[in-house]
């Protein structure tokens, strides 16, 4: 697959309706999806991601049940988008090729296949399926801080050789400092930049999402993710409206209507926020300790149930090196802490 032709200097991908699902406890309604897609589409956003926070098939006891079936939400998004492509996330082991086919039938144009940063070898069959379905492709190398730049680039090569058109440096924990982010961007651009676009997905746990997005563009990254009102896991994603404003100030063409995105954030998304992502102690600990951002609500729920501090649960998850897909281990950590507390340790 050849990489798509870009209409602008950088392609901002909005993930309010996917990563934001984590912050919404996966309770998006069809009307909220329709209203958000309509506003993003009018503001010129080219790609809008819509699925459960953990991707296709994520609605489950382990990750949290969705309010509305994701195929219904994908179909609603497709109806509202006049120019934008609708993307879905697929995590091998959670979502399947059958789920991808259903998403394509519902109107999805693009799939972003997400693996742990050292496990790209589980993705080729999903990229092959996407090619057969005529979908655009991107690849998420999650928890990118957990492997050196040169090794991350080798994982990107596996994805590109399998048909990925845009491998991503995915800072799932919001842990990458600017120098560390730059090193990874440079490594991926050097490895695959002549064949595929390189992307960046940032979180605000350490407040570097927007700054790292600018660095990303400077070294050749051309896909950058954001979410309105920063709606996403942990402290949230790089805010789409801020990215648009910053790139505009830098005279970098995004094709986005900044006032339109500001209105979308303030008038469409903000009214339905039950929880506005913020850099509080729990979220900062995630970035500091390198913990998967979607662990936040799970840790807070476990903390309330077992009467132990959420930030300590998260810190211990970081010490144990837990990664996406191991949300069930949060309960084990909380029980262990509560037991030691009861024993006076």
Residues 26-79 pLDDT 10s: 999 999 999 999 999 999 999 999 999 999 999 987 788 999 999 999 999 999
Residue 8 annotated as lining a ligand binding site? no
Assign 285 a pLDDT band (cuts: 50, 70, 90): very high
Catalytic residue among 8, 22, 52, 126: 22
200-227 b/e (C-beta count within 10 Å ≥ 16 → b) = bbbbbbbebbbbbbebbbebebbbbbbb
Residues 246-279 pLDDT 10s: 999 999 999 999 999 999 999 999 999 988 889 9
| CATH superfamily of domain region 11-271 | Aldolase class I (3.20.20.70)
> How confident is the model at residue 43, as a pLDDT?
98
Assign 223 a pLDDT band (cuts: 50, 70, 90): very high
Residues 157-185 pLDDT 10s: 999 999 999 999 999 999 999 999 999 99
Residue 213 annotated as lining a ligand binding site? no
> How confident is the model at residue 345, as a pLDDT?
63
> How confident is the model at residue 305, as a pLDDT?
93
Average pLDDT over residues 142-149: 97
Euclidean distance between CA atoms 199 and 156, whole angstroms: 11
Residues 153-162 pLDDT 10s: 999 999 999 9
236: left (phi over 0), alpha (psi -120 to 50) or beta: left
Euclidean distance between CA atoms 296 and 290, whole angstroms: 12
Query: What is the average pLDDT score of the chain?
Result: 95
Which has the closest alpha carbon to 235: 278, 295, 299, 293?
Answer: 278
Residue 201 annotated as lining a ligand binding site? yes
pLDDT at 144 over 90: yes
Euclidean distance between CA atoms 16 and 8, whole angstroms: 21
CATH class of the domain at 294-342 = mainly alpha
Residues 313-328 pLDDT 10s: 999 988 988 887 788 8
pLDDT at 135 over 90: yes
Structural domain spans, the chain: 11-271, 294-342
> How confident is the model at residue 324, as a pLDDT?
76
Known catalytic residue: 22? Answer: yes
**Percent of the chain surpassing pLDDT 70:** 100
* pTM across the whole model: 0.93
Residue 203 annotated as lining a ligand binding site? yes
**Percent of the chain surpassing pLDDT 90:** 88
Residue 35 annotated as lining a ligand binding site? no
DSSP per residue over 225-257, as a string? Answer: EEBGGG-SSTT-BPBHHHHHHHHHHTT------
Assign 206 a pLDDT band (cuts: 50, 70, 90): very high
> How confident is the model at residue 344, as a pLDDT?
76
**Phi, psi dihedral angles at 84 (to 5 degrees):** -75, 150
Count CB atoms within 10 A of the CB of residue 46.
23
């Amino acid at each position: 697959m050849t990489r798509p032709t870009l209409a602008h200097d950088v392609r901002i991908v909005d993930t309010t309706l996917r990563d934001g699902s984590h912050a919404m406890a996966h309770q998006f309604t069809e009307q909220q999806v329709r209203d958000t897609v309509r506003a993003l589409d009018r503001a010129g956003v080219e790609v809008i991601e819509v699925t459960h926070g953990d991707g296709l098939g994520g609605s489950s006891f382990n990750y949290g049940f969705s309010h509305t079936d994701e195929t219904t939400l994908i179909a609603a998004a497709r109806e509202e988008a006049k120019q934008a492509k609708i993307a879905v996330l697929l995590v091998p082991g959670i979502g399947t090729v059958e789920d991808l086919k259903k998403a394509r039938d519902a109107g999805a144009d693009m799939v972003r296949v997400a693996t742990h940063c050292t496990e790209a070898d589980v993705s080729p069959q999903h990229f092959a399926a996407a090619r057969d379905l005529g979908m655009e492709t991107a690849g998420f190398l999650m928890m990118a801080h957990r492997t050196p730049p040169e090794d991350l680039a080798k994982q990107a090569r596996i994805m590109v050789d399998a048909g990925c058109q845009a491998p991503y440096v995915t800072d799932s924990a919001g842990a990458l400092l600017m120098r560390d982010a730059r090193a990874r961007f440079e490594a991926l651009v050097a490895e695959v930049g002549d064949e595929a676009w390189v992307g960046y997905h940032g979180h605000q746990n350490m407040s570097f999402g927007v700054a790292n997005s600018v660095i990303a563009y400077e070294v050749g990254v051309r896909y950058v993710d954001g979410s309105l009102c920063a709606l996403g896991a942990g402290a949230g994603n790089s805010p789409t409206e801020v990215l648009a404003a910053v790139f505009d100030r830098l005279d970098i063409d995004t094709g986005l209507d900044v006032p339109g995105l500001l209105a979308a954030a303030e008038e469409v998304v903000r009214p339905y926020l039950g929880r506005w992502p913020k850099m509080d102690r729990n979220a900062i600990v995630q970035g500091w300790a390198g913990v998967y951002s979607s662990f936040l609500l799970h840790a807070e729920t476990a903390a309330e149930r077992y009467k132990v501090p959420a930030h300590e649960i998260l810190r211990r998850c970081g010490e144990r090196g837990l990664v996406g897909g191991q949300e069930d281990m949060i309960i084990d950590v909380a029980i262990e802490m509560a037991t030691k507390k009861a024993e006076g340790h």
